[in-house]
Structure 1
Amino acid sequence: MKTLLAFILFALSSLTYVNATDNKTIRISTKDTDLILQVGENGRLYQTYLGEKLLHEQDLQHFQWNIHAGSDGSVSKRGWEVYGGSGNEDFFEPAISITHHDGNPSTILYYVSSSDKAVEGGTETTILLRDDRYPVEVTLHYIAYPKENIIKTWSEIRHQEKKPVTLSSYASTMLYFNNSGYYLTEFSSDWAKEAQMSSQQLQFGKKVIDTKLGSRAAMHTHPFFEIGLDQPVNEHQGTVLMGTLGWTGNFRFTFEVDNVGNLRVIPAINPYASTYELKANEVFTTPEFIFTLSNNGTGQGSRNFHEWARNYGIKDGNGPRLTLLNNWENTAFNFNEEKLAALMKEAKHLGVDMFLLDDGWFGNKYPRKNDRAGLGDWEVTRDKLPGGIPALVRSAKDAGVKFGIWIEPEMVNPKSELFEKHPEWVIKLPNRETYYYRHQLVLDLSNPKVQDYVYNVVADILKENPETAFFKWDCNSPITNIYSPYLKEKQGQLYIDHVRGIYNVMKRVKANYPDVPMMLCSGGGARCDYEALKYFTEFWCSDNTDPIERIYIQWGFSQFFPAKAMCAHVTGWNKSTSVKFRTDVASMCKLGFDLGLKELSADELTYCQTAVTNWKRLQAAIMDGVQYRLVSPYQSNHMAVNYVSRDTDKAVLFAYDIYPRFQEKLMPVRLQGLNPDKRYKVEEINLMPSVKSALKANGKIYSGDYLMKVGLDVFGTAITQSHVIELTAQ
């Protein structure tokens, strides 16, 4: 009787909220974009507008006609439910699917209340929705960042039913569009060929982009996309939606064109093998979906993301970045203290800030001589490095550089002391033959004991060696043999709870060691999302450092990430290209080296030293300035990009001839972002010793207006040639 009375009071309170707020309008705005939501006559919440910002508040009243429900329960074609549930009158993909404790699979959410509050950089709008028949609530969150023209949104799901409910889908949000056509650009991937861009027109039905890899989740597809509205995606003009999901695990983007040509976009955790049992009063929080709507092509959309990321999206986004020398390409597993000490001196001679020790420094019972053993045993190999990490830190200090180190704390080799001691800590199927990817397995981060262990991999190194200045955190295997001994009968929660466990560790590391920069790596670029980047200063774009391939990879990642978040190293990959070309390509991002100086001629070494000096001197433009992609490698045999400092006094142009055709017509490169009224001196830098610039404009002074409207002749007909041009306001 008490339960029945409580339910009646709950239902009446819901109806009271609805009747009191008919046609309420909620406006979520940036400087360029309006997202308008309204409560319909039926008490449910609808999106009535998403587009260019409206100038006059009174015009919002004209949207009310769009959300009247028909007599048959249908809704006008522009009355799209903001967080539609399964089992209602909508015939298309829902945002949320719940099976209630009594077996009812429907969820219909009604508006209850909303509020706004100021947060760092913007305004957060919170909207409470509630089912009228079951004690289920969904809270929608939107943060609008006016200056950057970015909106971030996520949802929270909770209930007070007698028993747990089952979640079978749980989107972060739903967005709707009514245009003449929709053109999707997606970013596919594999090892050594990340962020490959391809486009297609969306037709009736659903296009799904998803991943089921668990960890190393973005190995085959990245968690971001672009949609051109009314026309294909274009760099410099047209309306484009650019969105990305902050989730380091399985994700799914659903793009559904309905029977009347409207598009709904649904970003979410992939519910594959992830039926989630939600207890009463437990909160299920979906990942953050971050998006911008640009009316000036992807170039402006990218600049929106870059600015937002530096301010709010990545760890120490406005701080400096360390140049480095890594030992991997030089030594692989074959090193000792003497070799490393010599490389640290090379790092100092090169002019970089730090030496980074890569894989191969750990394991005693099973020494890390290859990738088949030792992973999980984070003790220094005594016969290889008898002085341990403290001796390496001292050697780096003596050489005059900082010391960084590689770890892969979420993984384990079966041939390890950790696996022998704790086989129950590993994700591994019972009663099946075990499949090993790269000779390793994934630790079960849903288990709090495993979370403590992984955290202590970092903490123990820093307690013993507080001067350790950098971590490269790798993750080389997807989840295989998908079973958690810890979760037992709740295997549907493994993929989700595992990622949440990773975040628990990362949060602890950042809280206790906030000033230690860290590189996010996953067999290359298979971790590249803005949730993980809250805890990392940068990510490794790809193990492929061939400069030609890197031009495409870095072009793709730059759509969503600023240059200072993208690590790029000069290595021995593709030695048919010059050291200059390789270094100039890496200099577009966070610069590093992974080669021995003995490989270089005297002129090449001098060149590299000069390039490092120039990069450091120009960080304010390259790392913290505004990026403009000028010439696409996808549309030409060349590539060009320029960066402009915030005060527009300094700019850097990078131009590359990849594979020019015989006697092809070469067009001037028109720069962007300069002050048209300032006059700029043009100077080619990063030249080999004794080589003079052949650039006709070298040393001359031009107005910003001329450089943007007429441009510079910087392209040539020789393959794999590069030019780096510094422009300084006079």
Structure 2
Amino acid sequence: MKNLIRVLGVLLLLMKGGTTSAQQQIAIETEKISLVFTVGTNGRLYQSYLGKKLSAPSKALLSPGNGEAYVPSGGDNLFEPAVRMIHADGNPSLELVYESHAVKNEGGNTTTSIVLKDMVYPVKVVLHFSAFSKENVLKEWVEISHTEKAPVQLTHFASSMLHFKADDYWLTQFHGDWAEEMHISETKLTSGIKIIDSKLGTRANMYQTPAFALATNRPATEEEGEVLLGTLAWTGNFQFAFEVDEKQQLRIVSGMNPFASEYTLETKKNFTTPAFIFTYSDMGKGQASRNFHAWGRNHGVLNGNKERMTLLNNWEATQFDFDEKKLIALFGEAKELGVDMFLLDDGWFGNKYPRHSDNAGLGDWDANKKILTNGVSALVKGANEKGVKFGIWIEPEMVNPKSELYEKHPDWVLKLPNRKEHYFRNQLVLDLINPQVQDFVYKLVDDLLTTNPGIAYIKWDCNRMMTNTYSPFLKNKQSQVYIDYVKGFYAVMERIRKKYPALPIMLCSGGGGRTDYGALQYFTEFWPSDNTDAVERIFIQWGYSYFFPANTIAAHITSWGKQPLKFRTDVAMMGRLGYDINLAHLSETDIAFSKAAVKKYKELSPVIGQGDLFRLIAPTMDGRAALMYVDSLKQKAVLFAYTLHPRYGENWSAVKLKGLDPLKKYLVNETNIYPGANPSLSENGKTFTGEYLMENGLMVSQSNALSSAVIELTEVK
């Protein structure tokens, strides 16, 4: 009977005003990309095309194709599904057909919503696609709902399913560990499934990053090849499944990790997936990255088009050993250095259990009265009197068992009953699913800002993943912990941003454990790694540059590496510049250089933070690296060149520049030179056409290990 109903339903759709009888097409397009779906004669929705923008006559020639847009489980599908539902009557299947679609135009960008429905059960699945026209970026997310008489179970819930047909597929993934973030690996996909995922809960991308690049037919270079860059806007467990079938067809299923995450969906409620964000380029990885950067600044990151503050952090100078007097002295150093802000790191709180190390005090957010006699407000005032702003570190999602908070609310912690507590960094995760815990976290931030209204910046840390995970609040719905925790985190951030919409907040997670556009809608920048060795940072920041604009990548000068101060400074200048170094250990000449570097960075930061990035020489190639930023009018550019560890007798060719106007003339000026040193660039002070610089290049690579150069290019009228 149900099969008969399904057949009749499809026939009715086909008879509805020609809705599907002409194989209706739905095109989602930007200035340069087309994603085309076709409604088949069976009522199902198929992906017909994804690639370079097609003309209307070309789109009309497309067939439905074999790739169903959002493949359900339980029917005739033989491969990885996008969605799986167990109905109230126990039936574990869906059969989705096209019902309708609508398009909204918002300032030149469009959002297309395609409604699919099951012909037997009262279930709807809406595929949403936002097309950002100028940035050439697409965003897809899904809403699932039903009106069955009892709840249903969702066991799979992808944000996106994309299909490809090519001779070969080359996957670039980004992975690592603490202090080893963003290692880049490129492999050829073979028959079967490759999965990139996370099961860590909070510090979710500690090992695997929720982002990838896919090249078809052959590996893509910076300037050549077809490539898709994609990332999931989700601050929790994720999964990318890449499945190559027996016909050499590839489907990519992207979304939250379904592992241990079966979700109960009540009747008349919506289940909304996070967004999968992607771009396509037929001009290599470089153009795809620039698409992402433009989208990130305009739509993905809080205040992405605003300037960022330079800062001095106290951690390396003091660690936990400080008091009010010592900190106020550092304010003067920040002022002398010329940075915008002083950032107070960990160790300022806790009274019954003072925060003298990482084993106590976390969760007790009252200023330590012994070391901060006059409280945080005195520090804010002292910094402002010195002419710098004041920022502060917090880790509000975590708690030490040795804390007053834990003593009062042991039920606020994620931990298994009848099992021994498991600690990482001597701490546990608060149950942010619990509305009382959400109120607590919001209140601690709100109290900190209202009682100290001059606080200008927050560093928000999250130093552990989830283990031995169990939510006392969820009780018999433990499979929803991983999803509902992230929802709780976002709910807190929504409240904070409603009251404090512009406050700069750094997203930190024991290094790069959280680097995703799901969180960055609430944060202004992120901490890419605790590893601040300048050589390592070239590789780490290079990896992040595929998806994130430079003004979101916090880069600090520290003493971790033993490289020359100039080298460390030049590396930090290609991101959001900061200092976390004991200035007392620097010579007068070092201080003079650093002051000039801060001043120069502020002059160049509009180009670095808002300009187009061109990666010229990858650090993995031959012991050197080079990249440059070019402003939108092609009037100003900044080139960074780094020599790492060259082979003896290495003779490098000139580095060809990119992104300039070939008809314009540019003055070449090496800047950020250490006092007493001469420019390393033989072409320094000369003027060249953009064409010459892009075809002939500059001899920017030096023969000395751990040397670097910053080159300013300015249009000459």
| TM-score > 0.5 by shorter chain | yes
Alignment partner for residue 81 of structure 2, among 86, 94, 101? 94
SS of equivalent to 1:223: strand
Distance 2:152 2:246 in 1: 32
Distance 1:722 1:131 in 2: 61
Q: How does 1:79-90 map to 2 (within 5 A)?
A: 79-90=66-77
SS of equivalent to 2:325: helix
Distance 1:185 1:694 in 2: 35
What residue in structure 2 maps to residue 38 of structure 1?
38
**Contact 1:137–1:157 (8 Å) recurs in 2:** yes
Distance 1:459 1:290 in 2: 32
Alignment partner for residue 217 of structure 2, among 230, 244, 257? 230
Alignment partner for residue 374 of structure 1, among 361, 366, 369? 361
What residue in structure 1 maps to residue 196 of structure 2?
209
Distance 1:25 1:665 in 2: 56
**Structure 1: runs of 5 or more not aligned:** 68-77
Could you say if the C-alpha distance between residues 495 and 11 of structure 1 is closer, same or farther in structure 2, counting changes exceeding 3 Å?
Answer: farther
**Contact 2:223–2:287 (8 Å) recurs in 1:** yes
> What amino acid is the match of 1:289?
F
Alignment partner for residue 500 of structure 1, among 467, 484, 487? 487
Q: How does 1:304-383 map to 2 (within 5 A)?
A: 304-383=291-370
SS of equivalent to 1:652: strand
SS of equivalent to 1:347: helix
1:6-44 CA-to-partner distances (Å, cap 9, x unmatched) read: x99999777533542211100011111111101101001
SS of equivalent to 2:592: helix
> What amino acid is the match of 1:675?
D
How far residue 120 of structure 1 moved from its aligned partner, in angstroms, is 4.5
What residue in structure 1 maps to residue 564 of structure 2?
578
1:412-466 CA-to-partner distances (Å, cap 9, x unmatched) read: 0011000110011100000011111111000111111111111112101111011
**Contact 1:243–1:290 (8 Å) recurs in 2:** yes
Alignment partner for residue 543 of structure 1, among 506, 522, 530? 530
1:216-237 CA-to-partner distances (Å, cap 9, x unmatched) read: 1000011000011111132221
How far residue 647 of structure 1 moved from its aligned partner, in angstroms, is 1.7
What residue in structure 2 maps to residue 562 of structure 1?
549
What residue in structure 1 maps to residue 25 of structure 2?
25
**Contact 1:164–1:278 (8 Å) recurs in 2:** yes
Q: Is 1:669 paired with 2:641?
A: no
Q: TM-score, normalised by structure 2?
A: 0.98
SS of equivalent to 1:228: strand
Q: How does 1:312-461 map to 2 (within 5 A)?
A: 312-461=299-448
Q: TM-score, normalised by structure 1?
A: 0.96
What residue in structure 2 maps to residue 267 of structure 1?
254
**Contact 2:680–2:702 (8 Å) recurs in 1:** no
Q: How does 1:114-129 map to 2 (within 5 A)?
A: 114-120=101-107, 122-129=109-116
1:702-723 CA-to-partner distances (Å, cap 9, x unmatched) read: 1111001100001122110000
Distance 2:106 2:300 in 1: 14
What residue in structure 1 maps to residue 123 of structure 2?
136
What residue in structure 1 maps to residue 684 of structure 2?
698
Could you say if the C-alpha distance between residues 389 and 462 of structure 1 is closer, same or farther in structure 2, counting changes exceeding 3 Å?
Answer: same
What residue in structure 1 maps to residue 49 of structure 2?
49
What residue in structure 1 maps to residue 499 of structure 2?
512
**Contact 2:9–2:119 (8 Å) recurs in 1:** no
What residue in structure 2 maps to residue 292 of structure 1?
279
**Contact 1:677–1:703 (8 Å) recurs in 2:** yes
- State the percentage of identical aligned residues: 52
Q: How does 1:189-208 map to 2 (within 5 A)?
A: 189-208=176-195
Alignment partner for residue 577 of structure 2, among 583, 586, 591? 591
How far residue 596 of structure 1 moved from its aligned partner, in angstroms, is 2.0
> What amino acid is the match of 1:325?
L
Could you say if the C-alpha distance between residues 51 and 449 of structure 1 is closer, same or farther in structure 2, counting changes exceeding 3 Å?
Answer: same
Alignment partner for residue 624 of structure 1, among 610, 629, 633? 610
What residue in structure 1 maps to residue 12 of structure 2?
16
Distance 2:369 2:588 in 1: 36
Structure 1 stretch displaced more, 616-625 or 169-178: 616-625
Matched residues, number:
712
**Contact 2:307–2:606 (8 Å) recurs in 1:** no
> What amino acid is the match of 1:624?
Q
SS of equivalent to 2:28: strand
SS of equivalent to 1:564: helix
> What amino acid is the match of 1:463?
T
**Contact 1:10–1:135 (8 Å) recurs in 2:** no
Q: Is 1:721 paired with 2:707?
A: yes
How far residue 53 of structure 1 moved from its aligned partner, in angstroms, is 0.9
Distance 1:591 1:459 in 2: 28
1:112-153 CA-to-partner distances (Å, cap 9, x unmatched) read: 000101125510000000001101110110001111110000
Distance 2:686 2:590 in 1: 27
**Contact 1:140–1:155 (8 Å) recurs in 2:** yes
**Contact 1:185–1:197 (8 Å) recurs in 2:** yes
**Contact 1:43–1:111 (8 Å) recurs in 2:** yes
Q: How does 1:676-691 map to 2 (within 5 A)?
A: 676-691=662-677
What residue in structure 1 maps to residue 57 of structure 2?
58
Distance 1:116 1:676 in 2: 40
**Contact 1:186–1:198 (8 Å) recurs in 2:** yes
**Contact 1:18–1:111 (8 Å) recurs in 2:** no
Q: How does 1:459-474 map to 2 (within 5 A)?
A: 459-474=446-461
Q: Is 1:159 paired with 2:130?
A: no
How far residue 52 of structure 1 moved from its aligned partner, in angstroms, is 1.1
**Contact 1:195–1:557 (8 Å) recurs in 2:** yes
How far residue 665 of structure 1 moved from its aligned partner, in angstroms, is 2.3
**Contact 2:5–2:120 (8 Å) recurs in 1:** no
Q: Is 1:712 paired with 2:712?
A: no
Distance 2:47 2:701 in 1: 48
Could you say if the C-alpha distance between residues 487 and 10 of structure 1 is closer, same or farther in structure 2, counting changes exceeding 3 Å?
Answer: farther
Distance 1:120 1:246 in 2: 22
Alignment partner for residue 598 of structure 2, among 606, 612, 626? 612
Distance 2:10 2:593 in 1: 71
Q: Is 1:648 paired with 2:634?
A: yes
1:81-136 CA-to-partner distances (Å, cap 9, x unmatched) read: 10110012121101000011111111110100001011255100000000011011
What is the Cα-based RMSD across aligned positions, in Å? 1.5
Distance 1:484 1:94 in 2: 29
How far residue 60 of structure 1 moved from its aligned partner, in angstroms, is 2.2
Distance 2:514 2:72 in 1: 31
SS of equivalent to 1:138: strand
Could you say if the C-alpha distance between residues 252 and 678 of structure 1 is closer, same or farther in structure 2, counting changes exceeding 3 Å?
Answer: same
Distance 1:120 1:532 in 2: 24
How far residue 491 of structure 1 moved from its aligned partner, in angstroms, is 0.3
**Structure 2: runs of 5 or more not aligned:** none
Distance 1:397 1:258 in 2: 63
SS of equivalent to 1:247: coil
